[in-house]
Amino acid sequence: MQRRKIIRLVLGSVAILFVVIQFIPYGRNHDNPPVVAEPQWDSERTRSLAVRACYDCHSNETQWPWYSHISPVSWLVQRDVDAGRAVLNFSDWRRPQPEAGESAKEVVEGEMPPWFYVIGHGDASLNEIEKRDLIRGLEATLGTSESDE
The 10s digit of each residue's pLDDT in 56-105 is 999 999 999 888 888 898 889 999 999 999 999 999 999 998 889 899 99
Residue 50 and residue 131 in contact, taking contact as beta carbons nearer than 8 Å: no
Q: How many helices (H) and strands (E) does the chain have?
A: 8, 0
- Name the domain count of the chain: 1
Residue 84 and residue 91 in contact, taking contact as beta carbons nearer than 8 Å: no
pTM for this prediction: 0.81
Range of the domain at 99: 2-148
pLDDT of 3-57, one tens digit each? 998 999 899 889 888 888 787 767 667 889 999 999 999 999 999 999 999 999 9
